[in-house]
Amino acid sequence: MSQKNIKKLLLVVSIFLVMALPTLAATAEENAAKFGILTIIPPLVAITLAFLTKNVVISLFLGILSGTYIISLYLPGGFFGNLSALFTNLVPSFLKIVDLILGSLADPWNAGVILQCTTIGGLIALITYMGGARAIAESLAKRAKTARSAQIVAWLMGLFVFFDDYANSLIVGPIMRPVTDKLNVSREKLAFIIDATAAPVAGIAIISTWVGYEMSLIKSAYASIGQPVNAYMVFINTLPFRFYNIFMLFLVFATAFFLRESGPMLKAERRARKGELLAPNARPMSTEGEEQQLPEGKKSNIWNAIIPILVLVLASFIGFYSNGYSAIINGDDTELIALLQNTPLSLNGIREAFSASDASIVLFQSALFASIVATIMGVTQKIFTVSKAIDTFINGLKSMVITAVILLLAWSLSGVIKELGTATYLVGLLSDKIPAFTLPTIIFVLGSIISFATGTSYGTMGILMPLAIPNPDPNFVLMSAGAVLTGAIFGDHCSPISDTTILSSMGAACDHIDHVNTQIWYSLAIAFITIIFGYLPISFGLNVWVALLLGLAAVVALLYLFGEKVELPVETSKKASFV
């Protein structure tokens, strides 16, 4: 057989192996041991290129390609068996990317998220065409007359939509954007407010779509050491130890109240006060409603926004409960079934139902129902015909295409990172070298690194929780469990490949990389305060409530020591920022 034919055969075999890879895949532990430090290359490539190129699509794609290429080199006939595979493996690596994207889209949860994003885009387009967005902006502007009050209202609204981080990102932004735009608050700052009141709030809310997962991790970790536990009480007792969540929420309020910013956010806010809401050459994640105009002769009506949005929120609440109720009743957990049958509307019953619900499907259903209500309202008011309403809705869907593309790529990157065993490799670097008194701090740092690199909080929690529980001191257990649950929030809050970060950029119609670049410095500063005034002091015996007060004071001190008033002209700026 000629050398040319041998190369062709190797190419065919490589393609076959990649297509058959799911059946050949090893465990995360095995892959982490096999790939070693190479496992961190995909997230490192994606995140670094995102900041350098400011093109998140290309950055994510190349990050995925680096991962699939690494996998292909270890397949039979790869680089370690054949030098020519350095070039021939590009084809199977590309095919693997297609496989990952298709797999991401085929996942029911992911498909539900794509549907809810696009449907809410259609809903907002309908509300805008009906004049509802303009009316609610004018109404809120009467109360939120300054940039300070507009930001505080957005913060309060973020706290109000506590039950789900996706719902928070997709509801608060479109409602508040016309108000913050009118009062010259930058899109980056709005995206920050949305993002900082999404996962940080949902992660500590006593009723949310997060609680059940967090409780299940706590229960499983205790079960692994043969100890029964009331998981919900452990969850409640960890709340004071969620330093990052609490300090971040306070920082958002403090920056709005004192009108002080630092670093890239200061530049963005001063630019916005001059009327430039977006940076030059910015690529907003969505444009819905910007070109839609209320037909001539029709007056804007605030109820054209309030009613559809209330329908969306109420339908979400009802949907979370009914969806979770059905899941539990049709399941095999006799204890939960008895709880819902005997006390279906108790706090415990509602919490368990919310936790068991499929948030992606519920939000899609709620957004679709709200869109139908908005269509009926517009038609009965003769604002548009049914045909025009459908066209408007579809235009809203189209505006979300870039968001869907980025989400699919982010999920695909997460898939290849999981296959490589990146998180397992990172845990293995430090898990055997942790002194007891530094355990909460190290777990928080490790959780932050893993969640930032992988873009997933749920996966990070699942990996690290077993490290937190096996400790003879019950106080250290609560500290460490809190560190797991809050450290995982860090990446979900600020990683450029996190779906919540992406959705926050979309909700604010902000350039995604500009959002990440302005937010990440605040996130790092709060992480620093979390360690210095939180986990380290309490590990040495400081009362947790004293640590919380010190941390809150440190947040204010940070703004006054390193921040500056937004209203000052740039040329009078003399203080050094903390970035």
Predicted confidence at residue 489, as pLDDT, reads 87
pLDDT in tens, 405-443: 877 887 888 788 878 877 777 767 655 555 666 778 888
Q: Which of 43, 24, 22, 33 is nearest to 417 (CA)?
A: 43
pLDDT in tens, 323-365: 888 888 888 888 888 888 888 888 778 878 877 787 778 878 8
pLDDT in tens, 109-152: 778 878 877 887 788 788 878 877 677 766 766 677 788 888 99
Angle, helix 474-494 to helix 457-468, in steps of 10 degrees: 160
pLDDT at 76 over 80: no
Who has greater pLDDT, 166 or 552? 552
Which DSSP helix (H) or strand (E) runs through 564?
Answer: strand 564-565
Tell me what the mean pLDDT of segment 158-168 comes to. Answer: 74
Alpha-carbon gap, residue 482 to 561, rounded angstroms: 29
Q: Phi and psi dihedrals of 284, rounded to 5?
A: -60, 145
What is the secondary structure of 240-300 as a DSSP string? GG-HHHHHHHHHHHHHHHHTEE-HHHHHHHHHHHTT--S-TT--BS--TTSS--PPTTPPP
Alpha-carbon gap, residue 210 to 468, rounded angstroms: 19
Which pLDDT band, with edges at 50, 70 and 90, does 553 fall under?
A: very high
Residue type, 148: R
Tell me what the mean pLDDT of segment 188-207 comes to. Answer: 86
| Token couple for 246 | 């609490």
Which DSSP helix (H) or strand (E) runs through 567?
Answer: none
- Cβ–Cβ < 8 Å for 265, 187: no
What is the 8-class DSSP label of residue 511?
B
Q: How many CA atoms lie within 13 A of 50 on its CB side?
A: 28
CA separation, residue 192 to residues 58, 107, 165, 249 (Å): 24, 29, 13, 11
- Cβ–Cβ < 8 Å for 179, 141: yes
Alpha-carbon gap, residue 456 to 466, rounded angstroms: 17
Q: How many CA atoms lie within 13 A of 20 on its CB side?
A: 9
Residue identified by tokens 């709030």 is 201
Alpha-carbon gap, residue 176 to 178, rounded angstroms: 6
Which pLDDT band, with edges at 50, 70 and 90, does 258 fall under?
A: very high
Alpha-carbon gap, residue 467 to 479, rounded angstroms: 12
User: Which residues have C-beta within 8 Å of that of residue 329, sequence separation ≥ 6?
Assistant: 337, 340, 341
pLDDT in tens, 286-329: 655 444 555 666 676 788 888 888 888 888 888 888 888 888 88
pLDDT at 187 over 80: yes
Of 70-84, 240-254, 501-515, minimum mean pLDDT range: 70-84
CA separation, residue 574 to residues 181, 282, 568 (Å): 28, 28, 11
Alpha-carbon gap, residue 333 to 313, rounded angstroms: 29
pTM: 0.71
Choose from 198-212, 294-308, 512-526 the range with maximum mean pLDDT. 512-526
For residue 36, the SS3 value is helix
Of 186-190, 249-253, 430-434, minimum mean pLDDT range: 430-434
Alpha-carbon gap, residue 132 to 497, rounded angstroms: 33
Q: What is the mean pLDDT of the chain?
A: 78
pLDDT at 23 over 80: no
Which pLDDT band, with edges at 50, 70 and 90, does 46 fall under?
A: confident
Predicted confidence at residue 526, as pLDDT, reads 94
Alpha-carbon gap, residue 198 to 168, rounded angstroms: 6
Choose from 244-258, 355-369, 403-417, 465-479 the range with maximum mean pLDDT. 244-258
Of 164-168, 259-263, 526-530, minimum mean pLDDT range: 164-168
